[in-house]
Structure 1
């Protein structure tokens, strides 16, 4: 075991009673293992560090949301001979492209290494846990996060599901050491994902407040009007942790990737059908109310999200200055992406014309626009989506029997104010409509590439693909393997 553990950041999120604000606190690095893991609080701090590591720019803070993955599917306008242009051309031999995929690969496995360090020390130091359920929750979250990150590594670097024999084999790392970890078969990798998920679900089910309280309650613990009064802040804000329902949602997503439609359907249904104590649906689709309230990131739909205290700066640095843009007017997006419905909440709310100091005008996504200050817990929208309710509705539309599937699609469309669209008359048409909805719904969230790859979608269906692009979903193996 390494004497010192390098963690990206620790101590995670604090509740600031003066203004009800979430904050990330400053990082600590190079903490000796015998000190970090000699108390229950040390394990909590280490786990907070894992979440913050996952928010780095080489991970879900940029590359795997609006950055590299969205450039792959040409979501943004590009300048000639930039790395973004080469990504959109699927030019995996460009050194700048290689560097980006190396950085993602290394960061993801580095985060997994931190997770494995916690898991390894959990068993060795189990006696330090004095609070009921904390050991189980920490272990479950680690296993769930390990499955989440490994699954994304497979989706990005692995084979197309319809041809698992062609493409990279990857390592599923479960130990914290300096050894080179063996690449395993597609099926063995799949088995390990579901083993981690099943163990995590069983561990956490008894202790996760998400099963007992509403989303508003867990987003506002000990707050006015909240029924949730935790004695330990560690169990607060479960919507921003790898909670039980996030694990089930990931189980659904993974089953769909691996072709188990029944498994995907069953797991998605458990989440969608979950009820609060008053029999209201626990996870609702957003409506126009959220868009009107400028909750463009739809935190109410985020079964699992990462708190991003600097999201306002992220928007300014990437969208407010039109670094990431699509068109000089609304026409490209309105017509080609949304079909010029005139009613779609996303069409009318999620894009904005930005005028730069030079006078240039660009159409930019404002999904990540948030108010930085003067917010309450319930109006603090600084949250990166990891998995949302809307995805589960689209999974159900893809996996349910046809008549039921249409009902899920109709419900989804009604909540996006596009009930007037033609209802698909057969399964192939339904599948095509689902692909379109993924593209509209998750623009800037890094999910479009995955549905294109999962279904091996031809270039004609890859919206905005350049005429000179040769679509290639099989990424080469990264030239670095920093997986210790």
Structure 2
């Protein structure tokens, strides 16, 4: 049974976290702080409500995590807030920013309420510690976008029922980062390695370490990131799933590669991945991504002796057609035709439940239930390779981690005599290819300092026709604006440079 089944218990809990503003989490039913926190069952319901905030549309609900790919050079969407950001036409009133801000604070508020009240309930101390650890892990997940995208926000660690918190100024990015690490370090010792079948989807020790690795990597704390990733690798609790495409099939959810995923379950907790990727083509892979896949001998198409422009999808890295739907290939039991994916000429296959050789009807919007994988073992291997190479330069352990990911799909080894810069380029390429379609590349190009290079310029479809233009202002767009609504609600907030007052 998925963890999300338990969210049906949230009738009273959600009153502690549903809000019209990011600080409004006061209950509106018969329960209050004085009479709610009486049993362990209510603590568990409260904790489930913290998990439920992951499904907020500003975080991992709806189609948000996949639409983040449209902010990168990998894919394109022709309209909406994501396209405004890609075109550099966004401002503090762009709805996307407040949706993310609001979702983060909803989760933070629920986590804080649990942490502030859990000691009121008599229960087994080991379970109390575990519940606290889960809440702290989740609080770190919710603070992550405030640190990574906005560069600082009010750091609220108390129960959010005090009106004075609505006037708190922004804390610095460094202060948010310090709290992220503290919450994760606090959580790690008290989280289990795994759970029983009825508690799938809960945070584990490995999840906290993997998320800590991501935070350290994004902060360029190379040695610490490598050390934390190595702890996960040495623990031997996770393995690469043998089938790269099958990793994302519904029947393989929770497989040995998944470290932490956001849980969905039809009909209660659903999203629109399938129809938005397939029929609506709202995440259209770009030729820039398609052309980045190597040939099956590990060479770029510019250097390949086996690449045939007349048959561009043959003899390529198998992850190309495991991720991208290309014309002439088989998908949903039929040959993909010209114009079937009109945005760019390509569709995204990854994160649909459809098979290549099995006919399937369209899944109505909002009725998909495939879990979104927030952390997986291949990412840990690539984070280790990157961090180790940055900290110490090329050595066998960095090559080994990189090659494990390539071995899964039968790609040949990279040369072992590369310089640090040459290996860096291969690791970055591998991240782009392995994680394509998962919403992480936008974060990568920003932290690598190459956003100005790859997020400026014209966008072309598969016929070489210009369909749009990306713009990225390095002086402004490294951070998102503080949402205008948040500033209206809290005049103590200071706007990021380049976005006005």
| TM-score, normalisation: structure 1 | 0.74
Q: Is the 8 A contact 2:222 2:387 kept in 1?
A: yes
2:320 corresponds in structure 1 to 347
Structure 1 window deviating more from structure 2 (335-344 vs 250-259): it is 335-344
Q: Is the 8 A contact 1:75 1:464 kept in 2?
A: no
2:214 corresponds in structure 1 to 253
Structure 1 window deviating more from structure 2 (138-147 vs 47-56): it is 47-56
Q: Is the 8 A contact 1:286 1:301 kept in 2?
A: yes
- Cα offset for 1:38? 1.3
2:462 corresponds in structure 1 to none
Pick aligned residue for 1:119 from 115, 122, 134:
115
- Cα offset for 1:85? 2.6
Pick aligned residue for 2:87 from 89, 93, 105:
89
Secondary structure in 1 matching 2:65: coil
1:202 corresponds in structure 2 to 189
Specify every segment of 5 or more residues in structure 2 that has no aligned partner in the other structure, as ranges: 16-28, 297-314, 356-367, 460-468, 491-501
Confirm or deny that 1:65 pairs with 2:61: no
Pick aligned residue for 2:229 from 256, 264, 268:
268
**Take 1:360 and 1:291, find their aligned partners in 2: how far apart are those partners?**
27
- Structure 1 residues 433 and 456, CA gap change in structure 2 (3 angstroms): same
Confirm or deny that 1:321 pairs with 2:269: no
- Structure 1 residues 324 and 421, CA gap change in structure 2 (3 angstroms): farther
- Cα offset for 1:191? 1.7
- Cα offset for 1:112? 0.6
User: 1:388-434 CA distances to partner (integer Å, 9 max, x unpaired)?
Assistant: 11111111111224112122112221123222555671111222222
2:103 corresponds in structure 1 to 107
- Structure 1 residues 438 and 174, CA gap change in structure 2 (3 angstroms): same
Specify every segment of 5 or more residues in structure 1 that has no aligned partner in the other structure, as ranges: 1-10, 15-22, 159-168, 211-217, 222-232, 275-280, 373-379
**Take 1:464 and 1:332, find their aligned partners in 2: how far apart are those partners?**
14
Q: Is the 8 A contact 1:459 1:465 kept in 2?
A: no
2:56 corresponds in structure 1 to 56
- Structure 1 residues 182 and 339, CA gap change in structure 2 (3 angstroms): same
**Take 2:322 and 2:116, find their aligned partners in 1: how far apart are those partners?**
46
Secondary structure in 1 matching 2:76: coil
**Take 1:475 and 1:293, find their aligned partners in 2: how far apart are those partners?**
31
Structure 1 window deviating more from structure 2 (281-290 vs 431-440): it is 281-290
- Structure 1 residues 293 and 71, CA gap change in structure 2 (3 angstroms): closer
Q: Kindly report which structure 2 residues correspond to 1:441-452, keeping only aligned pairs within 5 A, or say none.
A: 441-452=434-445
- Structure 1 residues 461 and 428, CA gap change in structure 2 (3 angstroms): farther
User: 1:220-253 CA distances to partner (integer Å, 9 max, x unpaired)?
Assistant: 63xxxxxxxxxxx5xx32xx11211111111111
- Cα offset for 1:343? 5.1
- Structure 1 residues 421 and 470, CA gap change in structure 2 (3 angstroms): same
- Cα offset for 1:83? 3.2
1:5 corresponds in structure 2 to none
- Structure 1 residues 197 and 287, CA gap change in structure 2 (3 angstroms): same
Confirm or deny that 1:479 pairs with 2:484: yes
Structure 1 window deviating more from structure 2 (351-360 vs 469-478): it is 351-360
1:389 corresponds in structure 2 to 377
User: 1:77-126 CA distances to partner (integer Å, 9 max, x unpaired)?
Assistant: 333x643332212322284xx11111111111111101101111113x13
Q: Kindly report which structure 2 residues correspond to 1:353-368, keeping only aligned pairs within 5 A, or say none.
A: 360-362=339-341, 363-368=346-351
- Cα offset for 1:290? 6.0
**Take 1:86 and 1:450, find their aligned partners in 2: how far apart are those partners?**
17
Q: Is the 8 A contact 2:57 2:99 kept in 1?
A: no
